[in-house]
Structures are given as structure tokens and as C-alpha cells.
């Protein structure tokens, strides 16, 4: 049985169901070959290379700054919670120092959770330490997962190449336009303790004064005996070489919930 169809000029032409299906298949093939917005990872290696170059350029562009932050940690089952307000001073190419401005809540939380986290960040800031922790193919194997249209980012699975406690396993969101890392979600490559059943974290970045910096961090930990603990960093503002009036409050994290 013949079906009448209209061509591009509005003329009716004959076609069988098989011909119609073939035309549809050819059209779909052509659409699939076209560089669609949602098919950004046709060459994952190219995107990953762009990400690595963007990271190096971002470090080069990042000038000295002061960051005001609030660190919070809590375990509901133990009725323990604490927060610490901190000023972090960054000096290129990779020196960080911090001053504690104020503390509230549990001293145990301050000493055992928040202050060790600050020390860990300080130790990992120099270039010779970052080379082992950067989101880079020398430290991770990557596999493309999807294009996140809402975030405008290509999403990759990241698997650490070594069992280094400073690395993670999870997902990385790479900004379509700039190749900057927008978000990381995952868990540590190595469990920090037998008592930790599960850890998951989310770390968000955004552009601040032309460079990409962290703007939000949230971690949840399930402990074997003591239940759920949380750890959060609120990045209140950044000040670049700094009169106070140049301080920049944090934009919303890209894709933040």
C-alpha cells in the first residue's frame, strides 16, 4: 500500500511504509551525527585535556586572597556539634595559612574534626602536594557518563589510580563552556577508619572575580556505632589583595541543591 507524503516543497510523493522507515532512520542517523548540545563528549579525551589545561590556567590566574569561612560538624546520636569561624589566607603559588576567629559548641568536635580538616587543607596546598591530588589523568581514570543539561556540564566517572586517602572515587562535572570543574560527588578512595561504614561528599565550585574557587562543601558519614555525622564548609566571602570593600560574597554554587 502506498502512502502519500509531502516533500520539502509541499508536493505529495508516494512512499511505502518501508521507505518511510528508511527515511526516518536516515534522518535519525543524520541528527545523531550532528554536534548536538547534549552530545558534548564525542571525544572525552579532548574534554579531559581541556579540563586539565583549564585547571592549570586557573591556578596561574588565582591571585592572593583571604577567605572567610564557617566550618560546622555534628553527630546527632552523640549530641555533639561545633562550628569554627576561620580566615584563610592564600598566597600563590600554593601557601595557605588560617586563623581561627571564633568557636562555638563542642571542643571535641573542634579538636578532632574541624582543626584536622584545616591542617589537611594547608598541607595539600603546595604545588608539590597538589600534583598527587589534582583532578587529572595522572591521578584518575575517567569514563564519560552523560551530559547534564541543567548544569551545562559533561559528567565523568572518576576512579583513583592509587589507594591514596587524599583521592576520591565518584563523579566530576566539567563545565561545557570553560572546562572548569563545577562539582565533585563521591567518597574517599580509602576508608579513613574501620568505624566508618560509608562516606559521601559534594564539593561545588563557582567563578569568583574571574577564577574558579570552592563555594560549598557537604559531607555525610555513617559510623558503625554512632550513626550519622555531617561536616559542612560555608564559604562566606573572598577578598582579593584586600581592602575590605573589595570583598566578594559567594555566588550560588553551580547546580547546587
Report pLDDT for 5. 43
Positions in the chain whose pLDDT score sits under 70: 1-42, 242-257
- The boundaries of the domain holding residue 10 are 3-33
Report pLDDT for 196. 84
- Bridge partners, residue 66, by sequence: 89, 239
The DSSP call for residue 136 is: S
Residue 17 and residue 110 share a domain? no
Core vs surface per residue 83-116: b (16+ CB within 10 A) or e = bbbbebebeeeeebebeeeebebbeebbeebbbe
Domain count, the chain: 2
- Decide if 60 is inside a domain: yes
The DSSP call for residue 53 is: H
Residue 224 and residue 191 share a domain? yes
Residue 89 and residue 21 share a domain? no
Report pLDDT for 27. 36
The CATH number assigned to the domain holding 79 equals: 2.50.20
Report pLDDT for 193. 79
- Decide if 38 is inside a domain: no
Residues 6+ apart with CB under 8 A from 161: 138, 139, 140, 141
Q: How far apart are the first and last CA of the chain?
A: 55
Report pLDDT for 224. 87
Residue 67 and residue 28 share a domain? no
Residue 74 φ then ψ, to 5°: -155, 140
Report pLDDT for 7. 43
pTM of the full predicted structure? 0.78
What are the tens digits of pLDDT across the range 21-59? 444 443 333 333 333 344 455 699 999 999 999 999 999
Helix residue ranges per DSSP H, the chain: 17-33, 44-61, 107-109, 115-123, 127-130
Residue 149 and residue 117 share a domain? yes
Q: β-strands 95-105, 140-148: how paired?
A: unpaired
Residue 29 and residue 87 share a domain? no
Residue 214 and residue 136 share a domain? yes
Report pLDDT for 159. 98
Amino acid at each position: 500500500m502506498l502512502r502519500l507524503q509531502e516533500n520539502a516543497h509541499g508536493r505529495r510523493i508516494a512512499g511505502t511504509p518501508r521507505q518511510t522507515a528508511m527515511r526516518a532512520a536516515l534522518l535519525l542517523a543524520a541528527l545523531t551525527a550532528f554536534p548536538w548540545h547534549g552530545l558534548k563528549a564525542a571525544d572525552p579525551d579532548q574534554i579531559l585535556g581541556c579540563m586539565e589545561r583549564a585547571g592549570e590556567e586557573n591556578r596561574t590566574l588565582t591571585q592572593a586572597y583571604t577567605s572567610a569561612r564557617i566550618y560546622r560538624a555534628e553527630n546527632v546520636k552523640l549530641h555533639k556539634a561545633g562550628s569554627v569561624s576561620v580566615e584563610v589566607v592564600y598566597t600563590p603559588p600554593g601557601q595557605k595559612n588560617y586563623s581561627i576567629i571564633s568557636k562555638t559548641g563542642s571542643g571535641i568536635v573542634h579538636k578532632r574534626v574541624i582543626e584536622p580538616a584545616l591542617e589537611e587543607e594547608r598541607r595539600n596546598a603546595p604545588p608539590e602536594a597538589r600534583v598527587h591530588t589534582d583532578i587529572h589523568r595522572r591521578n584518575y581514570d575517567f569514563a564519560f557518563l552523560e551530559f547534564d543539561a541543567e548544569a551545562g556540564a559533561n559528567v565523568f566517572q572518576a576512579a583513583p589510580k592509587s589507594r591514596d586517602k587524599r583521592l576520591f572515587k565518584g563523579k566530576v562535572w566539567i563545565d561545557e563552556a570553560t572546562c572548569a570543574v563545577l562539582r565533585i560527588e563521591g567518597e574517599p578512595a580509602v576508608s579513613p577508619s574501620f568505624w566508618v561504614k560509608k562516606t559521601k561528599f559534594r564539593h561545588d565550585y563557582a567563578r569568583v572575580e574571574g577564577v574558579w574557587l570552592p563555594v560549598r562543601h557537604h559531607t555525610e558519614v555513617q559510623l558503625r556505632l554512632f550513626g550519622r555525622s555531617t561536616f559542612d564548609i560555608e564559604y562566606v566571602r573572598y577578598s582579593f589583595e584586600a581592602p575590605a570593600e573589595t570583598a566578594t560574597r559567594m555566588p550560588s554554587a553551580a547546580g547546587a541543591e
